[in-house]
Structure 1
């Protein structure tokens, strides 16, 4: 479980697909203390919960290895990752940690596309198009997770919604790199999902 508050931006140091293309081994370079990363730990990478299979230190920088399976590649932007791709990272939530964002599972529901970017004096506004089957879960003032970042929805009309990003978030995450046409990982709010299901069952 996560909160959608990014704690580091790492990058893919190596990306090795298997011969069958069903599994990709990724080595991710980061600034985390390697002694705090246990094998089997969960780390959200651009919103995708991945399991650490090995970690170490090279040239003074921590790395950890994770495996991305075929379903992850199909459902997320991991299908387009390559060496050098920058990733928003978040360690799994611990009991007693501050819940600064919202409850995030790290299970990406689909891919949203940036429709437009507007740079404002104090922030940036992004409009995104969600997959139609997920749009009904997105509402103004509700929460979404985009590339692992917990955000508040500003407006939502049909399958297009907007978010406003403050300068700090643009600086400490990869969101500053977003452009029209960029594809991002989308996780809808768990509470919205359950509320919709309850409504359907009535």
Structure 2
């Protein structure tokens, strides 16, 4: 379980295919605090530490994860949003994030507004994942509040601190991002759809 508050940025040091899986080596200031079997969110994807080496650590993304997220698009030297699992009893500064990406989206517009930024995204709305204005959304592991919402599109506002300390400063139009929709909203949508009358 995570909060969507990014702790730091890691850097991809090495990528190695293992059958259909991908072994990812990440250089990070967090490495000295990690241990084998620990869970860390990488761009919002929960992965398990399988190896430690000086200031870098290793995780493995399976084929299913590579198909549903942007991890298969990573390149050596690329920055990755990192967050360790939340501590039970600590403040929940973001929102409840599972580290299970629902689908990817694409950045469609970036607008600077006097010291802040508004980022717009589109995604496949037919997969049934809802957003609502002022609701929560996780983009590459970052907990954010939806500004505008449509069936298959939404926008978020980014303050300077978030822009400087996450992957947002590297986004461009066409950038593919990982999306995890609000877990409570997903359950409500599922329950609501299951009670709709059947169309004849």
Q: TM-score, normalised by structure 1?
A: 0.93
Equivalent position to 1:52, from 25, 49, 52: 49
1:78 is aligned to 71
Match of 2:8 in 1: 8
CA–CA distance in structure 2, aligned partners of residues 3 and 193 of structure 1: 17
Runs of 5+ consecutive residues of structure 1 not aligned to the other structure: none
Q: Deviations over 1:117-160 (max 9, x none)?
A: 10111200111002113465111111000011000000012311
Q: CA 1:137 to 1:65, structure 2 compared with 1: closer, same or farther past 3 Å?
A: same
Quote the offset at 1:178 in angstroms: 0.9
CA-based RMSD of the aligned residues comes to 1.2
Q: How many residues align?
A: 195
Deviations 1:27-86 (A, max 9, x none): 10001151x3121100000101000001131xxxx2110001100110000111121110
Q: 2:196 aligned with 1:198, yes or no?
A: no
1:30-109 correspondence to structure 2 within 5 Å: 30-32=28-30, 34=32, 36-57=33-54, 62-109=55-102
Unpaired runs of at least 5, structure 2: 196-200
**Secondary structure, in 3 states, of the residue corresponding to 1:193?**
helix
- Kept after mapping to 2: 8 A contact 1:134/1:188: no
Find out whether 1:130 has 2:112 as its counterpart.
Answer: no
Determine the C-alpha separation between the residues in 2 that align with 1:134 and 1:41.
31
- Helix, strand or coil for the counterpart of 1:180? coil
Q: Distance in 1 between matches of 2:190 and 2:128?
A: 14
Q: 2:105 aligns with which of 88, 93, 112?
A: 112
Moved over 6 A (4+): none
Q: Pick closer, same or farther for the CA change 1:78–1:127 going to 2, 3 Å.
A: same
User: Tell me, what secondary structure is at the counterpart of 1:126?
Assistant: strand
The answer as to 2:30 corresponding to 1:26 is: no
> Of 179, 186, 191, which residue of structure 1 is paired with 2:179?
186
